Structure formats: C-alpha cells, structure tokens
Structure 1
Amino acid sequence: MALILIVGDEPDACRMLQRILSSFGHSVQAFTEGGKAVEWLEDNLPDLALLDINLRETDGIGLLKILRRSQPRTKTMMITGNPSAETAGQATELGVVDYLVKPVEIDELEERINRALG
C-alpha cells in the first residue's frame, strides 16, 4: 500500500488517524510538529500527506509550501476543523487533491484517500 504522512496539532487525533490508516494497510508516520515532519521528509518520500491547517508552530499552508518544494510529486490532502474560503483557495492553488472538514467519517476518509492515491 502507500506511505502516508500525517501532520496535525492534536496528538490524540494523529494517533487515531495513524491507527485507522494503518488498518487500511498503509504505512503511516504521524507528527504534531511541522519541523519534525520536515526533518522526516529529508529522508522519506510519502505517497500522500494529510496536513492539518492549524498547527502549533506553523500552519498547514506553510508546511504545504515546504512539501511542494521538497516533494513535488507527493499528493496532499488538507484537513481542518475551521474551514475558510481563504485557506481552501490557498490549498487549491498549491495543488492539494482534497480539502477535508472535520469531523470526517472513517468510510469517507478511506474513499477519499483511495481516490487521491489513484
């Protein structure tokens, strides 16, 4: 299956997503700090990144820009509990394949990830 990167601001939510995506057969790496995710990206090429818009020391859009420069072929999905037309527009301009609004049902998440991975 796929190597998936998760970056979110809530440790419990990251662990839950990691367990769910692992149960789908994916290899998953989760971080709650954008800087640690960037370090991991230096040595790893994920097939898909699932980035939260709101992070502690940065924002998901900033991390998306870094990801685009370092891993331009990685497909990216954004997830947020606070959707806005501004962040959706920025994410779309930066080439995200999907923009999810929390809460997301497990079946819907699986379907959208499968669609993103092609």
Structure 2
Amino acid sequence: MAHILVLDDVVDAGILLKRILERKGHEVSVFSEEEEALAFLDGSGVELAILDIKLKKMTGVEVLEEMKKILPELKAIMLTGYPTLETARESLKHGANEYCVKPIDKEELESKVSNVLEA
C-alpha cells in the first residue's frame, strides 16, 4: 500500500481521511500546517498528497506547486468545500490527478485514491 500525505487546515478532517485510508492499508501522515507538510515530504517516500484547496497561509494549489518541485512524480488529489470549474482547472493544470468535493464520500475517496495510485 501507499504512503499518503494529507494536508487540511481542519485537523479533524485530516484525521477522518487518515482513518478511512488506514483501513485500506495505507500509511497516512496528517498535517494542518503547510510548512510542516512541505518539510516532511523530502525523503519521506510519500506517493500521494491529498490537499485541501483552502488552507491557512497558502492555497492547496500553491502547496502542490511547491511539492512538485521537491517530488516531481508525486500524485495529488485536491479537496474543496467550494467547487468551481476554475479551481478544478487550476488544480489539474498544476499537476493534480483528481479532485474531490467535501463533504468527502468514503467510497468516492477510496475509489479515487485507488485509481490515482494505479495510474
């Protein structure tokens, strides 16, 4: 299974994702601060990042850009509670593989994670 990094400014949301994904056998590291997530990434073996688009200091898209500089092959799924065509387009343009709308549907998340990791 994969090592997944979750970054969400709402700690409880990150913990919920961790529980869902750990039940599927993944190793999950949860962060609520952008800097900590970026610092952790280098040399961590993370294969997939799940990033909220609305964060404290940066946007999820900006974090994704920085993560891709550290780990170009990193796969990513963006999360948002405010879906718009523009945020979807922006995320995909910067290397996101998938997009999920909050509140997260457990089956949808599991399916998208599986699909992205297999791609």
TM over 0.5: yes
| Aligned residue in 1 for 2:35 | 35
Give the residue type in structure 2 aligned to 1:96: A
Counting aligned pairs with the same residue, the percent is: 37
> Structure 2, unaligned stretches of length 5 or more?
none
CA contact (8 A) 2:42 2:71 kept: no
Deviations 1:63-89, CA, capped at 9 Å, x for gaps: 010011111111101000011222211
Give the residue type in structure 2 aligned to 1:76: A
* TM-score normalised by structure 1 residue count: 0.95
| Aligned residue in 2 for 1:17 | 17
> Structure 1, unaligned stretches of length 5 or more?
none
| Aligned residue in 1 for 2:4 | 4
CA contact (8 A) 1:45 1:71 kept: no
* TM-score normalised by structure 2 residue count: 0.95
Q: How many residues end up aligned between the 2 structures?
A: 118
Give distance in 2, aligned partners of 1:86 and 1:70.
25
| Aligned residue in 2 for 1:101 | 101
